[in-house]
A and B are shown apart, each in its own frame.
Chain A
């Protein structure tokens, strides 16, 4: 079946502009994660959705960042008043959590990411 998809693949914007990044998870996956990967670093957690609700948004760096998942499937990461420091690859992952098992069914599957460049 189809994997996690993210659009756009690349986004170039000017400082101060608003951007939206989209993530289409694997069909049926209830958990969705956003990560940010700066150059030369490992991904850093931003926000986690279980269904439609943000179960953990502790990784969002400030109130310019916001994410939604209104129907429990597609998610959009929104960044207001972009800054040059926001330039990074934004990764999305989805999983189907399995409670109380060791079968590894809740593996996080990643999309190819959106490379955001703020000029």
Chain B
């Protein structure tokens, strides 16, 4: 069975600074996806970034980038130039890759990020 671990329950960062959220996972599979989702107080989960395990290049989306270390089973999220609107719960998630399609998501417990003015 796959597991996802987020060891930082809470973090804070000053506006415009950079912050890194940690995530480790455990799987015996070689073909899978990893994700970071953001959940603001509105409860709606929003996809931040996605990484295919077969790709060595780290995914980036504007101010968001990941450090994917497949051998170490580590998948951290870096947020640059933090903005007040980045304040939210952040969840790391895993899913199997079935020929290019996702399976169900397995989530970590989340990290509560607060961006301070």
Residues of A within 8 A of B (CB): 33, 35, 40-45, 48, 56, 59, 89, 91, 93, 95, 97-102, 104, 106-113, 115
Contact = CB atoms under 8 A, between A and B. Distances in A.
Most-contacted residue by chain A among B37, B93, B105 (CB, 10 A): B105
A106 B101 contact: yes
Interface in B45-97: 45-47, 50, 52, 55, 91, 93
A45 B52 contact: no
Contact of B101 (A89, A99, A112): A99
B45 A110 contact: yes
Nearest to A42: B107
Contacts, number: 66
B30 interface: no
A113 B89 CA distance: 15
8 contacts: A42-B93, A42-B110, A44-B107, A45-B106, A91-B45, A107-B47, A110-B45, A112-B42
Contacts of A113: 43-44
